[in-house]
Structure 1
Amino acid sequence: MRILLTLLSLLLLSVSPLQANDEFPGRSLYLDVKYITLDDLAKRYDDVVIVDVRSGYEYDTLHIKKAINISMTDADYMERMRQLREKNPNATIVTYCNGKTCMKSYKAARKAKQLGVENVVSFDAGIMDWAQNQPERSVLLGESPLDPGRLIPKSVFKQRLLDPQEFVSRANREKHMIVDARDPLQRAGYALFMGKERRASLADEKKMGELMAQAANSGKSMYIYDEAGKQVRWLMYRLEQQGVKDYYFMSGGTKAFYQQLRNDFASGE
């Protein structure tokens, strides 16, 4: 019996790290990057420098209060990180992105370290967990503290997603507003609905706002697609704010659309 209990204890100990990695998959992929937990960041909030490494659009929608937005994809990312370190020579710099499966916070911390900016750690729980647990230290559409009830869970976002084939089928037979939300570089002149769609990148808040107002006033449905089907999640907050009730996104964006075309071609359908 004693041997059996010992074996069970060892089994439980061996399972725990795997469960942790399941919840935070990036921790096993970026072993060289240190991380900070939600509880620890809350305790050290006043003493650390927090950097939101997502796009400006995501940051403007929802971010940690006092966080600085330095997008990891910007050309001047490293220069700005170096300047930040010079202004805060002894402080820990904390990077964060959307959530537990978002790898940008790890990549940003690793990139900083590789180029000489030390003491950079990843807050890998991400903005959604933070906003739910620290609403008084969060900013939603310029307002703080935020009401946690206004946060849109991933499950609700998924209800607005349509498979690329279904998206196209419905777009071609219904009267509504189709919006290409990709930025000009992603678009590169290619349109999925030539002559039918409107173009307004997520960064162009004025134009996107005008389209949302038109849809809300006319009662039209909005069918919106981006490059990878992820950035549009943050558009939901503005759609709800503008009173647009009927809207859908292409699951996986144009990447999934073209992949589906390749699969169909390969299978001879």
Structure 2
Amino acid sequence: MWEYLIMKLIWVILLTVISASVLAEDSFPGRKLYPSVPFIELDDLYKQINDVVIIDARSKYEYETLKIKSAVSIPLALSTKRFQKRMMTIRQENPEKKLVFYCNGHKCMKSYKAAKRSISYLGLNNIFAYDAGVFEWAKKYPAESLLLGEVLVSPDKLISKSAFTEHLLPGEAFIKNANSEVTILDIRDRIERDGFYIFSGEENSISLDKREKSKLDKLIASVKKSNKTLFVYDMVGKQVRWFQYYLESKGIKKYYFMKGGADAFFDIPLNKLID
């Protein structure tokens, strides 16, 4: 009797451990896709924060919008030569420290790709991926996070997914409602535009590059003064997620983003665009 109960208990424990492991793989897909890259958990990173170098693998704009307070920016998108130079400098300055990459969240693979690049191609060791992402960090440790250059006073300042999606319009609706009564803003960079404009150049084309910041500020001030609704699109619908923080900081409330960005235009049947 006792032997049966003990064996049953062992099986229950084993099944619990296996289920937890499978759930972790589903929740953190990078761990399965990049098994050679070691990862670090949220609380462990916080405990070791003074003994590691935290590296943001996202774009510069995302980094400047919301980041881990002590993080340095080394975007995965850098050229191989520039990425190598930056990483080698970081390693030389911190020979014994762990180098930990992070990006947006569980399904963002930039942290793993940057770590893999550093390990496999640059031959660096003591490289880790923090895969819970910047949002989970900011929610739990707001004092160690910066939002638009300021310490995050409260996680309530973070824009929820629902607060973002309520400002999304499907491509067809976005285009049909983008008339003379609204201000249209294209935030793609010059390379992304490549001569293609959804509204035949009638939109305001201003990238998120720092060099165009004053131009952008001027346009947004004009939109606020006129009380017009702002229609914004990017390339694939991801940059607007971060641009929303800028709009809210400027007091803009009437705005919509094109779901899927400019790429979504090509998924709209032609007959739907012709009145």
Give the corresponding residue for 2:108.
Answer: 102
Alignment gaps of 5+ in structure 2: none
* CA–CA separation in structure 2 for the residues paired with 1:66 and 1:58: 15
* CA–CA separation in structure 1 for the residues paired with 2:19 and 2:175: 44
**Cα distance, 1:11–1:250 mapped onto 2, change above 3 Å:** same
State the one-letter code of the partner of 2:66.
L
Give the corresponding residue for 1:88.
Answer: 94
* CA–CA separation in structure 2 for the residues paired with 1:256 and 1:195: 18
Q: How far did 1:6 drift?
A: 6.2
Q: How far did 1:107 drift?
A: 0.4
Mean Cα displacement is larger for which, 190-199 or 141-150? 141-150
Corresponding residue to 1:26 among 25, 30, 35: 30
Question: Is 1:168 aligned to residue 172 of structure 2?
Answer: no
Q: How far did 1:80 drift?
A: 0.4
SS of residue paired to 1:59? helix
**1:39-78 correspondence runs (5 A):** 39-75=43-79, 76-78=82-84
Mean Cα displacement is larger for which, 144-153 or 241-250? 144-153
Q: How far did 1:18 drift?
A: 2.0
Q: How far did 1:186 drift?
A: 0.5
SS of residue paired to 1:102? coil
**Cα distance, 1:256–1:11 mapped onto 2, change above 3 Å:** farther
* CA–CA separation in structure 1 for the residues paired with 2:130 and 2:188: 28
Q: How far did 1:4 drift?
A: 6.9
**1:108-257 correspondence runs (5 A):** 108-114=114-120, 115-172=122-179, 175-203=181-209, 204-257=212-265
Percent identity between matched residues is 44
Q: How far did 1:206 drift?
A: 2.2
* CA–CA separation in structure 2 for the residues paired with 1:155 and 1:106: 27
* CA–CA separation in structure 1 for the residues paired with 2:30 and 2:149: 30
SS of residue paired to 1:121? strand
Q: Matched residue pairs, number?
A: 262
Mean Cα displacement is larger for which, 101-110 or 163-172? 163-172
- What are the superposed Cα offsets for residues 43-95 of structure 1, whole Å, 9 maximum, x if unpaired? 00011001111111111111111211111111211210111101111110011
Q: How far did 1:9 drift?
A: 4.9
Which has the greater radius of gyration? 2
- What are the superposed Cα offsets for residues 135-176 of structure 1, whole Å, 9 maximum, x if unpaired? 11111111124322211122211111111111112114x610
State the one-letter code of the partner of 2:157.
R
State the one-letter code of the partner of 1:240.
E
- Contact residue 139 and residue 146 of structure 1 kept, 8 A: no
Question: Is 1:37 aligned to residue 41 of structure 2?
Answer: yes
TM-score (norm 2): 0.89
Cα RMSD of the aligned pairs, angstroms, is: 1.9
State the one-letter code of the partner of 2:251.
G
Q: How far did 1:97 drift?
A: 0.8
* CA–CA separation in structure 2 for the residues paired with 1:164 and 1:78: 39
* CA–CA separation in structure 2 for the residues paired with 1:170 and 1:256: 16
**Cα distance, 1:168–1:41 mapped onto 2, change above 3 Å:** same
* CA–CA separation in structure 1 for the residues paired with 2:11 and 2:44: 33
